[in-house]
């Protein structure tokens, strides 16, 4: 089956168009892992399947993390799929159904060569049971500490659900944090019954945040769209930044705005088409 390899700020995707299959694309965890593997497959963080929508949306997106788990949301992947569909139809806006709900995406700016896509990720979920957490607590700073009790290395992250669960730690020097050590441990912390994406945010000013994310089921990636949205929301809730900021990730930059008028989070950034390939046996 043919696929399109794309990335959004370095966040890598293998995208399959399954609209002509007559039904959903079913992938076993081992198949997903093989496709995502950089040696045997495409080398990607997530796999996206474009399927026919059951409602009036332009398409339904099915999403798997590299470890084989099907997940509800992927912000950068949604922007990549939106670009493909807009390129196909010539439209400037598409509606995409996901397990996290209906998302609207549109071209940003008049210069199509920039491939800038904005997606409305909807309102963040901020109640403890919606993250979800294992117990009730204030999601502006949940009770997690790493390191000595009197001088923790990491503590009291903000918790946000952007279609998937996120915990965002606020740090002074992001490059001093051993993310490869802390990420796997925190991803499966007992407070997160469904696991969580773990963000590390260094606020550089009211409109600039440096961010790195350990993604649930994918590891440390060059960018995470829902993670960038969660970071902006978490930082604003702690009065560390405004409602709109530039998020600087390892693979590029995203503009995130948490709109006050309707509580929706908008994510804008570039996408890149890398190549088209084919996976045998699908």
**Cα end-to-end span (Å), the chain:** 5
Active site residue: 224, 229, 235, 241, which one? 224
Task: Tell me the torsion sign for CA atoms 27, 30, 36, 40.
Answer: negative
List C-alpha distances in Å: 237 to 65, 126, 136, 157, 171: 28, 10, 18, 11, 15
Active site residue: 9, 44, 74, 235, which one? 74
* Residue 74 annotated as catalytic: yes
Instruction: Tell me the C-alpha distance between 243 and 257, whole Å.
Output: 6
Task: Tell me the torsion sign for CA atoms 134, 136, 141, 142.
Answer: negative
Instruction: Tell me the C-alpha distance between 173 and 201, whole Å.
Output: 9
Nearest to 70 by CA among 121, 14, 28: 28
Provide the token pair at 176.
């001093």
Return the beta strands (E) in 188-271 as ranges.
Answer: 197-205, 208-215, 219-221, 244-249, 252-258, 265-270
* Angle, helix 75-89 to helix 225-237, in steps of 10 degrees: 130
Provide the token pair at 212.
């790195």
Count of residues in the chain? 282
Q: Give the catalytic positions in this structure.
A: 74, 224
């Amino acid at each position: 089956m043919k696929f399109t390899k794309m990335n959004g700020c370095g966040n890598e995707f293998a995208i399959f168009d399954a609209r002509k299959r007559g039904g959903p694309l079913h992938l076993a965890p081992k198949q997903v892992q093989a496709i995502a593997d950089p040696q045997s497959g495409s080398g990607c963080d997530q796999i996206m399947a474009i399927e026919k929508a059951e409602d009036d949306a332009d398409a339904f997106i099915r999403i798997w993390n590299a470890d084989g788990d099907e997940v509800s949301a992927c912000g950068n992947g949604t922007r990549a799929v939106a670009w493909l569909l807009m390129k196909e139809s010539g439209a400037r806006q598409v509606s995409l159904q996901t397990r996290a709900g209906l998302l609207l995406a549109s071209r940003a700016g008049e210069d199509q060569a920039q491939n800038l896509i904005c997606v409305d990720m909807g309102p963040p979920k901020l109640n403890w049971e919606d993250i979800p957490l294992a117990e009730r607590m204030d999601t502006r700073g949940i009770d997690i500490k790493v390191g000595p009790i009197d001088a923790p290395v990491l503590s009291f992250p903000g918790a946000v659900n952007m279609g998937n669960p996120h915990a965002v730690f606020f740090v002074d020097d992001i490059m001093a944090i051993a993310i490869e050590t802390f990420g796997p441990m925190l991803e499966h912390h007992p407070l997160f019954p469904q696991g969580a994406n773990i963000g590390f945010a260094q606020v550089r000013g009211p409109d600039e945040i440096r961010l790195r994310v350990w993604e649930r089921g994918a590891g440390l990636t060059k960018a995470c769209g829902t993670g960038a949205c969660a970071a902006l929301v978490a930082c604003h809730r702690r009065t560390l930044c405004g409602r709109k900021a530039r998020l600087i990730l390892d693979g590029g930059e995203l503009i995130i705005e948490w709109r006050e008028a309707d509580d929706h989070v908008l994510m804008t950034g570039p996408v890149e088409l890398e190549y088209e390939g084919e996976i045998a046996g699908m």
